[in-house]
Structure 1
Amino acid sequence: MVVCDHVEGVVSAPQGPFWGPLAHGFACGAHIPVHVSSPWNALDDPVHDYARNRETLADSWGVTTAADWSRQVDYLLAGMNVGPEVDAVLDVRRVLLRHQGHYDLLTWENAVATWARRHGGDVDEMVRLAGVVTRYESRFRTDGLLPHDGMVTSVFGYDFGRAVNMARWGFGGRFCDYPTAERIVLRAGELCRQHYTSWADFSAGYALGRVIRFDEEQYGHMYVSVLGPHRLLTGDRTSPWWHVPFA
């Protein structure tokens, strides 16, 4: 049984959006502010949060200039930070299910190997990812990140959700103006709607992207720190996921 990091609750900014596309975009980035008990629906303050944001961006992202920041935003919105390999593996499974109606891990691994050879992918790494996804999805079902028969459809949501927070930190660190940050939040929301069908679907994809990127099947802090926000965002009636439609 996982013991989650303590999460206080869903904090909202009274002046922030609660409805509409901008609220939806902010809600796609809600995992991180919920984890640190910050408002989900606001950008950081370029006066109060300036030094902290600059330090965070430099230490965690190597971002020290506006050009660095803009480049990271572009990578995130293109899904290039988490990378396309996992989604390629998930796409192979989707094709198997469409054609056969079922699959097992060995069949999936063989199909992934065939796809990788045809498309110049790293065969061993992509086959390994099929097993990694299978084990994480099993744990997700146990912990409520997925329903008992659920599967992750895409991991790009992890990058899109982080793009929302990059906009938040970029404005707070004075790397962009408010309209630029708002456009990023809206674009991230649009991309999430293209890849997912519900908040639960999105959150499972976000979580899988995070743990594949950082957790290395340790089920440690990187897993716990996404499970807690997921549970709060899907279970607390004050969460934006209860009142902002995903579609």
Structure 2
Amino acid sequence: MVICDHVEGVVSAPHGPYHGALAHGFACGAHIPVHVSRPWNALDDPYRDYQSIRESLADDWGVETAQDWSRQVEYLLAGQNVGAEADAVLTVRRALLRQQGHYDLVTWQNAVRDQAGGRRANELVELAGVITRYESRFRTDGLLPPNGMVTSVLGYDFGRAVNMARWGFGGRFCDYPTAERIVLRAGELCRQRYSSWTDFSAGYALGRVIRFDEERYGHLYLSVLGPHRLLTANPSSPWWHVPFA
């Protein structure tokens, strides 16, 4: 059983890591445990919770065996769950900024169309518009600074990989060293893609809403906005004492 410190909405396990690479990896998965008031720096309890964790994994992820769980971990660490489309569109924008120093939506969409070609071009062109509208809302709500842009959505999969490690250990699908390696790997991948906690969090949020929200700005948006605000603004957050780099 995990004994926790609960400070103004941030739950920490006293014996969990607070500093170093493992703490950083856990902090990359903090959106989900913060949302449900669970410790950000601990794996789930395999003695108390494993049956309910297995039921949740089966219902939410279709994971019923250790092989299913391992396959999901591989997909998440490879960024294959959130999909490559949004990052491909963002890559086109980064190229425009490198080449021209600026961009507008029409120029971006034309560049996406030129790069994509084929039957999927219209879908990717529309995705640039979706991203633009979400980023505008993110700036209004503080998920992005006034001139900020999302650099990658792969952080959504990497953050969920941390939680898949948490649930895999709690559901008795893996041992502790295996779960720890996944947490460390996810943290390393986040550092490769992002430059700060706020940069990472905006990418995580955009990955989530593109995947599930469909521009409704409902529960699926609010359930990532709330943890973002707490993690960035509350001094008890790991993002205040664990360096991103």
Tell me the TM-score normalised to structure 2 length: 0.96
The offset of 1:227, in angstroms, is 0.2
2:64 corresponds in structure 1 to: 64
1:186 corresponds in structure 2 to: 184
1:27 corresponds in structure 2 to: 27
CA deviations 1:34-63 (Å, max 9, x no partner) are 000000000000011101110110000000
The offset of 1:8, in angstroms, is 5.9
What is the alpha-carbon distance in structure 1 between the residues aligned to residue 242 and residue 52 of structure 2?
30
| Cα distance, 1:227–1:141 mapped onto 2, change above 3 Å | same
Q: Which runs of 5+ in 2 are unaligned?
A: 1-6
The offset of 1:124, in angstroms, is 1.1
2:207 corresponds in structure 1 to: 209
Residue 11 of structure 1 aligns to a residue whose secondary structure is strand
The offset of 1:121, in angstroms, is 7.1
Number of residue-to-residue matches in the alignment: 239
CA deviations 1:58-99 (Å, max 9, x no partner) are 000000000000000000000000011100100100010111
The offset of 1:181, in angstroms, is 0.2
1:79-158 paired onto structure 2 within 5 Å: 79-117=79-117, 122-158=120-156
What is the alpha-carbon distance in structure 2 between the residues aligned to residue 91 and residue 49 of structure 1?
41
1:36 corresponds in structure 2 to: 36
CA contact (8 A) 1:29 1:164 kept: yes
What is the alpha-carbon distance in structure 2 between the residues aligned to residue 239 and residue 121 of structure 1?
45
Corresponding letter in the other structure for 1:144? G
2:53 corresponds in structure 1 to: 53
Corresponding letter in the other structure for 1:148? P
Corresponding letter in the other structure for 1:115? Q
Mapped pair 1:232 → 2:230: yes
Aligned residues: percent identity? Answer: 80
Tell me the TM-score normalised to structure 1 length: 0.95
What is the alpha-carbon distance in structure 2 between the residues aligned to residue 33 and residue 104 of structure 1?
37
1:221 corresponds in structure 2 to: 219
Corresponding letter in the other structure for 1:142? T
1:4 corresponds in structure 2 to: none
Residue 147 of structure 1 aligns to a residue whose secondary structure is coil
CA contact (8 A) 1:153 1:201 kept: yes
CA deviations 1:6-34 (Å, max 9, x no partner) are x9611000000000000000000000000
Corresponding letter in the other structure for 1:171? F
2:73 corresponds in structure 1 to: 73
Q: Which runs of 5+ in 1 are unaligned?
A: 1-6
Runs of 4+ displaced beyond 6 Å: none
The offset of 1:176, in angstroms, is 0.3
CA deviations 1:173-232 (Å, max 9, x no partner) are 000000000000000000000000000000000000000000000000100000000000
Please give the root-mean-square deviation of Cα atoms over the aligned residues, in Å.
1.1
Residue 162 of structure 1 aligns to a residue whose secondary structure is helix
1:17 corresponds in structure 2 to: 17
Residue 42 of structure 1 aligns to a residue whose secondary structure is coil
